[in-house]
């Protein structure tokens, strides 16, 4: 399926450049959903020791580090994104000693470690909320967003929850409503309260002191709300979704200007605890949701005192055309901020299904799902495109195997969103099924016990052990593409020019000092010929799908990739 130029010794950017340049800039980070990665104690749930046992596999991909989804104490209504103790480890995942051992092992293998930080809300069981709801005059009374009912008992405004229903729940103890942008059991913190900001920064300091290399900030644009609690305006009719939360513009419960002030405080803390060179810098990547995601990404990463990088949901929905890829990339050309890109994650249907294997992706959290045409491209096409982009890259576990989205029975669902919206939506469980390690092992090698979600039978043929030995596998193509990116300053750090972006044809030029890299993609199920300018090298470095240079044109069969 893939070919490359004759084998050569891998080259790396000059050490002096690598030292000066922050390690995360252009890095490839592997996202781990620990609950589904590897189970070490036979309880059917992945854990930190299981992850530690598989770190050599992650390092073997050639990535720069890993991002670990929440492993903190939690009632698990939203599977760790409802935190009840920000400084501990849930017993399901192990202990703080297990985390410290994992961190040390990762660092010994040359892997950076980012951990999720969920700061916009807590679990209902968090001690902070227990105190806050107990009265209107206790020490933490204003640590959460409380508001009186309207005269007729209605909630304070029209804000809607992303999990369905109003974003307000009545609490009889305080005789007030509290805000929750997600589940009612996940109340929102009040970042307008100075003590809350101090408490959150203390949590950041706790984990930085333990040696983590940075944070992935969950819902980073939801920290602040409009203190006047004004109604959100409706979206224009063509932009409205099918659920109430997608019918309004989130003008007043997201993207508030005060967010920038807090991010500056966080950046100052992290810079003060990092090393003096790029190799030892701590970093924070923000998740930015909403219709203005790209604009906010730029706003939140501009300059040297805000987020180091950010990603939005631009590539987590329906398969893009070349023009839509261009629309995501163009805004970054004139700015100093640094983007991050992901094609899959724990909240979206897997890219192999959404963009090219013919199955209907029924759910993409925060974006349209779309329907594949059945012959547009293989997952290798999308991996090559992702790794050719300017920015930092996040790979979701199993994406390197080309895993398709899993189809689960109603009775197997665990995700509260899927359970609430069945059958209109199947929720997020289909991208969270266990990692397939060995094709012929019970539960595909994930666990010797019944897993918390069923192992997908379709994933066995794509298991790690089978792909390791197949030179044409998705796994080995991913390794080759990561190695190519790692060896190329142009791919890792260089500028990006979209030379051609029409219909399904995309031609990208990356350049850094004297090095140029050209990458051509056919994003469709039909063969095409792409005229090329004379400066495009005649000899490719890596190809996929039968791409060929023919005189003044590139011949690109369906889903083909040509990199020179």
Rg (CA), the chain: 23
Place of tokens 């799908």: 545
Q: Is the dihedral of CA 7, 12, 13, 16 positive or negative?
A: negative
CA 11, 21, 483 angle in degrees (round to 5)? 30
Closest by CA position to 477, among listed 399, 554, 412, 363: 399
How far is residue 131's CA from residue 129's CA, in Å, rounded to a whole number? 5
How far is residue 539's CA from residue 546's CA, in Å, rounded to a whole number? 14
The distance from CA 523 to its chain's CA centroid, rounded to whole angstroms, is: 22
How far is residue 320's CA from residue 323's CA, in Å, rounded to a whole number? 8
Kindly give the pairing relationship between strand 176-179 and strand 168-171.
antiparallel
Residues in a beta bridge with 496: 510
- Sequence-distant (6+) residues with CB within 8 A of 236 are none
Q: DSSP for 413-472, please give it.
A: ---HHHHHHTTT--TTGGG-SPP---TTSGGGGS-SS--SSPPPGGGGGG-HHHHHT-TT
28 half-sphere exposure, CB direction, 13 A CA radius: 29
> 156: how many CB neighbours lie within 10 A of its CB?
20
Token digits of residue 554: 């590139």
> Does the bond joining 423 to the residue before it have cis omega, within 30 degrees of 0?
yes
| Helix (H) / strand (E) containing 495 | strand 495-502
Q: Is the dihedral of CA 245, 247, 252, 257 positive or negative?
A: positive
Q: Is the dihedral of CA 141, 143, 144, 145 positive or negative?
A: positive
> 530: how many CB neighbours lie within 10 A of its CB?
21
How far is residue 290's CA from residue 219's CA, in Å, rounded to a whole number? 10
H-helix segments, 7-91: 15-20, 48-53, 55-60
Q: Is the dihedral of CA 264, 339, 255, 79 positive or negative?
A: negative
- Annotated catalytic residues are 218, 287
Report how far apart, in Å, the C-alpha atoms of 339 and of each of 293, 394, 477 are: 11, 11, 24
């Amino acid at each position: 399926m893939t070919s490359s130029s004759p084998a050569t010794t891998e080259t790396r950017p000059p050490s002096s450049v690598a030292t000066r340049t922050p390690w995360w800039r252009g890095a490839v980070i592997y996202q781990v959903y620990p609950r589904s990665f590897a189970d070490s104690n036979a309880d059917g749930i992945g854990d930190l020791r299981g992850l530690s046992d598989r770190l050599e596999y992650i390092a073997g991909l050639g990535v720069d580090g890993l991002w670990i989804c929440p492993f903190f104490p939690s009632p698990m209504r939203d599977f760790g994104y409802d935190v009840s103790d920000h400084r501990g480890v849930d017993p399901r995942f192990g202990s703080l000693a297990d985390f410290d051992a994992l961190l040390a092992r990762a660092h010994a293998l040359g892997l950076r470690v980012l951990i999720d930080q969920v700061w916009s809300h807590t679990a209902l069981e968090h001690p902070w909320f227990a105190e806050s709801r107990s009265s209107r005059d206790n020490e933490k009374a204003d640590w959460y967003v409380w508001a009186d009912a309207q005269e007729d008992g209605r909630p304070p405004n029209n804000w809607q929850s992303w999990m369905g229903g109003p974003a307000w729940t009545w609490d009889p103890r305080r005789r007030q409503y509290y805000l929750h942008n997600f589940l009612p059991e996940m109340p929102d913190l009040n970042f307008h309260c100075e003590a809350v900001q101090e408490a959150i920064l203390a949590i950041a300091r706790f984990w930085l002191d333990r040696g983590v290399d940075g944070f992935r900030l969950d819902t980073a644009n939801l920290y602040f709300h409009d203190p006047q609690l004004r109604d959100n305006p409706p979206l224009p009719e063509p932009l409205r979704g099918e659920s109430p939360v997608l019918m309004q513009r989130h003008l007043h419960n997201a993207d508030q200007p005060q967010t920038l002030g807090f991010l500056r405080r966080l950046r100052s803390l992290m810079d003060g605890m990092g090393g003096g060179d790029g190799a030892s810098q701590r970093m924070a990547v923000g998740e930015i949701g909403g219709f203005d995601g790209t604009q906010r990404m730029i706003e939140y990463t501009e300059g040297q005192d805000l987020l180091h990088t950010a990603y939005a949901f631009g590539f987590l929905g329906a398969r893009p055309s070349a023009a839509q890829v261009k629309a995501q990339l163009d805004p970054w050309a004139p700015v100093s901020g640094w983007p991050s890109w992901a094609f899959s994650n724990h909240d979206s249907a897997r890219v192999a299904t959404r963009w090219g294997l013919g199955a209907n992706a029924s759910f993409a959290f925060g974006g349209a799902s779309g329907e594949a045409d059945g012959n547009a491209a293989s997952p290798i096409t999308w991996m090559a495109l992702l790794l050719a982009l300017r920015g930092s890259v996040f790979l979701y576990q199993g994406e390197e195997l080309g895993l398709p989205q899993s189809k689960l029975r109603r009775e197997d669902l665990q995700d509260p969103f899927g359970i609430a919206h069945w059958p209109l939506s199947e929720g997020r469980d289909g991208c969270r099924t266990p990692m397939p390690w060995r094709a012929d092992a019970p539960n595909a090698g994930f666990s010797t016990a019944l897993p918390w979600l069923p192992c997908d039978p379709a994933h066995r043929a794509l298991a790690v052990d089978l792909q390791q030995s197949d030179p044409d596998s998705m796994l080995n193509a991913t390794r080759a593409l990561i190695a190519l990116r790692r060896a190329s300053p142009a791919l890792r750090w260089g500028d990006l020019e979209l030379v051609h972006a029409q219909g399904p044809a995309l031609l990208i030029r990356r350049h850094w000092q004297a090095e140029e890299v050209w990458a051509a993609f056919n994003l469709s199920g039909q063969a095409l010929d792409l005229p090329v300018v004379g400066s495009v090298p005649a000899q490719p470095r890596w190809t996929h799908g039968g791409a060929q240079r023919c005189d003044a044109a590139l011949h690109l069969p369906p889903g083909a990739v040509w990199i020179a």
